Structure 1
């Protein structure tokens, strides 16, 4: 049931939106809304964020969080259109796996990898659900701008931990929670929502609708700890070289020079 309407200026990444409607958290309804979004025009509306980029102005090429992947068994959570799997597949891992909530995205990934002479085991399922993935199996699990879509963060991190070998690595990125609170207005930055508000909301982007929750940084960190991870590195700085190279003078780029818009965490299973 809808609760109230409010302004959510930053839905995901740098994308802007107007009025959002706060809703009760209904897992099945949210899965239905978001799978439909990605089955139809998700990529057209939000684009695709993929390695070597973790998100706006943060790159694997600079931070080298993966290290050597040759011979490793790798799983991507939220594989989207497959560009990140392609990036890693060209670096000779032992196995590639991917999951996504959208059948359309899975088909795009399969087509892309086939065209590049690569292959992966692909599963269409919500990341929260048990979906036949092997346990104590993977060396690296990663997620580029997908973890934030989960309806059950603690449950998702617990499942990811169960899929990893001991000492296995989990790397994920998402839109920084501070970025989600602040908007550019008349050459200034203004808080538009409470950082502590983690309520679920729906928002319309054109003719399409998506559902999200803006979680605090502590929510991610505490959920990782509860699942048995230790954090090895966190990145939240925008890359000045990328900002300069792109010559971007937009409000979003100005914002990225003042506060974090993307964060990346590398954690290890104990």
Structure 2
């Protein structure tokens, strides 16, 4: 749902079911084409080594949602250009790994590594099939990475649970499910409900041949919670950030006008039992 200058041109919009393979293909295509514009537009807000959970500006340095990560092995799901993982590295966390579906995003990560001197090991991979062994990480997190773009919440969350060690923490942020009801408009005009909260058909942009070139999926709050439990994890909290008074930027469908009345982000916290 992006139409800013220099982003890939949106195709014909449909609402339909999309499977995992088609969704992953569309994600690679779109994010490889959008990475340059995305980093140019949002790079200052994200910072080269910064940990921002959401467009509201929730900063891990203040929120501490991951808890104490010193001495922990950490995985970032859908790392983009690696800003969050690189911030952890800059704070002395020795083992941080990131992965993303888009090769171009990872190229930006390498570029920023060279500029900052804080290197984040990254790999190109799909959140639906994480290339890591069981019980590999003490902390798994995702800041708007991957999970809004997977068709089955339970399968992706199961992968996160699989690679997390017993006693480990899982934290991820996504578009707040209630936002699915509203148009992608951060102004007063975007306050009118025009879509059923319970309609789980994906938002799909298609090329002339009917192939998906951008896909975004909707899961309700209950879907996310059931997925967390099915993954063998125990939910701890769901954070719904309020829009801060000092943040006047507009980010796609997020902005101060609507953001101070309707939540735009949901951050889920869970742990894996010992």
TM-score (norm 2): 0.81
Query: Hey, what does 2:223 align to over in structure 1?
Result: 219
SS in 2 for 1:54: coil
SS in 1 for 2:177: coil
- Structure 1: stretches of 5+ with no match in the other structure: 1-10
Residues 31-42 of structure 1 aligned to structure 2 (within 5 Å): 31-42=24-35
- Structure 2: stretches of 5+ with no match in the other structure: 5-9
- How far 1:58 sits from its partner (Å)? 4.5
Q: Would you say how many aligned residue pairs link Structure 1 and Structure 2?
A: 252
- Equivalent pair of 2:247/2:256 in contact (CA under 8 Å): no
TM-score (norm 1): 0.82
- How far 1:246 sits from its partner (Å)? 2.7
Q: 4+ residue stretches of structure 1 with deviation over 6 A?
A: none
With 62-71 and 92-101 compared, the bigger mean Cα shift is at 62-71
Q: Give yes or no for the alignment of 1:191 onto 2:184.
A: no
- Out of 259, 262, 269, which is 1:266 matched to? 269
Query: Hey, what does 1:169 align to over in structure 2?
Result: 169
Structure 1 pair 204–83 and aligned structure 2 pair: CA distance change class (3 A): farther
2-side partners of 1:37 and 1:45: how far apart?
11
1-side partners of 2:29 and 2:190: how far apart?
36
Structure 1 pair 186–200 and aligned structure 2 pair: CA distance change class (3 A): closer
- Out of 251, 254, 259, which is 1:256 matched to? 259
2-side partners of 1:116 and 1:68: how far apart?
24
- How far 1:70 sits from its partner (Å)? 2.1
| CA-to-aligned-CA distance 1:44-84 (integer Å, 9 cap, x gap) | 25955855321121512442112222221110000101111
2-side partners of 1:104 and 1:254: how far apart?
33
SS in 1 for 2:222: helix
Residues 60-79 of structure 1 aligned to structure 2 (within 5 Å): 60-79=60-79
